[in-house]
Amino acid sequence: MRFSEFGKGVYGPSKLKPLEGSNISKTANAIKKYQKKHHLEPGSEGWIKLWFARPYLTGENPYSK
């Protein structure tokens, strides 16, 4: 092994793209506004669905009732 090849790793560069438009602050603010508008209390079934839904993973809509 040559020194110039050292440290390049075993795997090639990743082909995965970062999620575009994923801003945690904007998402949390939108959820908080929805929560306040619909009077969802922390710990209720609707609140848990709203905050812990994974629409990109499961396809569920956290804003549906």
Q: Is the pLDDT of residue 11 over 70?
A: no
Phi, psi dihedrals of residue 2, rounded to the nearest 5°: -85, 155
Residue 35 lies in a domain: yes
Quick one: average pLDDT of 2-29? 70
Cα dist from 34 to 19, 22, 47, whole Å: 23, 18, 10
- Please report the pLDDT score of residue 42 as a whole number: 94
Q: Is the pLDDT of residue 44 over 60?
A: yes
- Please report the pLDDT score of residue 60 as a whole number: 83
Quick one: average pLDDT of 17-41? 84
Phi, psi dihedrals of residue 31, rounded to the nearest 5°: -65, -40
Residue 46 lies in a domain: yes
Q: Scan for tokens 């790793």, then name that residue.
A: 9
Domain extent at residue 62 = 25-65
Residue 13 lies in a domain: no
Residue scoring higher pLDDT (26 or 20): 26
Between CA 48 and CA 21 the distance in angstroms is: 23
Task: Determine contact, residues 52/27, Cβ cutoff 8 Å.
Answer: no
For the chain, give the mean pLDDT.
80
| Structural domains of the chain, count | 1
Residue 49 lies in a domain: yes
